[in-house]
Amino acid sequence: MRSEVILFSYTKNLERVCAAAMRSCYSPHSSFQLFENKEGKVLPDEKPFDDERVSNLIKKAFELGHHDVLEHGELTFDIRNVSRALTHQLVRHRLASFSQQSQRYVKITRSFGYIKPPSFKEHKVKMKFKGIDLELSFEDVIEFCKLAEEAFLNLGIKAEDTRYLRPNAATTNITTTMNPRQLLHVYSLRCAPDAQWEIRDLAWAMFSCSKLIAPTLFNTIPIVNIHKEVKERNELLNQIIAEIKPNFKKIGEGEIMEIPLDRLALEHEVKAYVVKL
Ligand SMILES: Cc1cc2nc3c(=O)[nH]c(=O)nc-3n(C[C@H](O)[C@H](O)[C@H](O)COP(=O)(O)OP(=O)(O)OC[C@H]3O[C@@H](n4cnc5c(N)ncnc54)[C@H](O)[C@@H]3O)c2cc1C
């Protein structure tokens, strides 16, 4: 099953807000005065707060380790069709907010989707079960779980209990909101080669969405200096974002743009979208 991530809500002028907060620490002027000084007309004693200055101030914040300025904003992602195995890992990030589809109230016992790890390929296992010789694929085991869940549900057992038969592969939807500082922390852990492949793919998809709306904040992550493959993939993603950015600027408010991720060669299919605000 194909997973999807949609960045559908985020702080408007995110980088400008963070940069104004940064500059306000070293200026007699307040953050909003600086924020408004785009053309340099509001504060004659200050340089214009143009895009270049915003970008330089954010780079300076990273250099100085002045990381609180990266907390002045939020990004909200709709994450669809990911496994329970993935969400169990994602919700370990305690500084993020989450809302996840309920297995008690959403009646999808027979119809739940699932993520099949690529390593299963077309393998089948032979086993003896209650005296019967079986040869089962990954899909067969999932189908058996579905049948069992439905059968017990039909027996009158509550959905909140029959869901115990649902495997970790079963898909779910989850919404998460994080500030840029926390997102960079999550990307550092989950884009790394030792992260589990499904959450790693998702992290790269979320990272790509973040880059489109805030390219300086999300230009890089500390682990690019540790892993060559992360550095190369990050550079490739920066190229992809630079290619699609002109079109993103042109589309209207409320329109959605897909970020093509095929060149990243992820382990499984994940689609990434950003809503223009
Ligand atoms: C490759 C990999 C393998 C993993 N394997 C396992 C495993 O086998 N078993 C397992 O249980 N977990 C495992 N985890 C999960 C991991 O231990 C963390 O729970 C998860 O990555 C959340 O990260 P975090 O704690 O840094 O940050 P978050 O919860 O995202 O918090 C961000 C930062 O805030 C600070 N912070 C948050 N809460 C506190 C606090 N209470 N006290 C002090 N500082 C705080 C820390 O600096 C923290 O880094 C694994 C994670 C990865 C990436």
- What DSSP string describes 197-242? HHHHHHHHHHHHHHHHH-TTTTS--GGGGT-HHHHHHHHHHHHHHH
Domains and CATH numbers, the chain: 3-99+172-275 (3.30.1360.170), 104-165 (no CATH)
When comparing pLDDT for 117 and 40, which is higher? 117
Distance (Å) from CA 89 to ligand 1 centroid: 10
Distance (Å) from CA 93 to ligand 1 centroid: 6
- At 212 the pLDDT is 98
Q: Provide the whole-model pTM.
A: 0.96
Distance (Å) from CA 191 to ligand 1 centroid: 14
- Average pLDDT of the chain, as a whole number: 96
φ, ψ of residue 28 to 5 degrees: the values are -70, -15
In this structure, are residues 209 and 77 in contact, taking their beta carbons and an 8 Å threshold?
A: yes
The arithmetic mean of pLDDT across residues 76-97, rounded, is: 98
**Both structure tokens of 125:** 């296992």
Residues 160-179 pLDDT 10s: 999 999 999 999 999 999 99
Is the per-residue pLDDT at 188 higher than 90?
Answer: yes
Distance (Å) from CA 247 to ligand 1 centroid: 37
Q: Which of 88, 95, 187, 199 to mutate to test the pocket of ligand 1 (most atoms within 8 A of CB)?
A: 95
Strand duo 270-275 + 97-100: pairing = unpaired
C-alpha–C-alpha distance, residues 15 and 88, integer Å: 31
Measured from the Cα of 194, ligand 1's closest atom is 1
Residues 90-120 pLDDT 10s: 999 999 999 999 888 887 666 789 999 999 9
Measured from the Cα of 96, ligand 1's closest atom is 30
C-alpha–C-alpha distance, residues 199 and 36, integer Å: 39
Atom 34 (ligand 1) nearest CA: 95
Measuring from each residue's beta carbon to the nearest atom of ligand 1, which residues come in under 6 Å? Answer: 92-95, 185, 189, 194-195
- At 111 the pLDDT is 74
Amino acid in the structure at residue 39: E
Place of tokens 């000084």: 37
Other beta carbons within 10 angstroms of residue 68's beta carbon come to 13
- Catalytic residue check, 163: no
The per-residue DSSP string of 133-177 comes to: EEEEEHHHHHHHHHHHHHHHHHTT--HHHHGGGS-TTBEEEEEEE
Atom 24 (ligand 1) nearest CA: 93
C-alpha–C-alpha distance, residues 126 and 155, integer Å: 30
Three-state DSSP at 259 gives: strand
Measured from the Cα of 189, ligand 1's closest atom is 53
Residues 127-136 pLDDT 10s: 999 999 999 9
**Both structure tokens of 101:** 């589809």
Distance (Å) from CA 28 to ligand 1 centroid: 38
Atom 7 (ligand 1) nearest CA: 89
Is the per-residue pLDDT at 1 higher than 90?
Answer: no
Question: DSSP class of residue 170?
Answer: B
Place of tokens 């959403």: 106
Residues 219-258 pLDDT 10s: 999 899 999 999 999 999 999 999 999 999 999 999 999 9
C-alpha–C-alpha distance, residues 82 and 4, integer Å: 8
C-alpha–C-alpha distance, residues 171 and 107, integer Å: 13
Catalytic residue among 190, 200, 233, 263: 190
Atom 39 (ligand 1) nearest CA: 94
Atom 27 (ligand 1) nearest CA: 93
In this structure, are residues 274 and 14 in contact, taking their beta carbons and an 8 Å threshold?
A: no
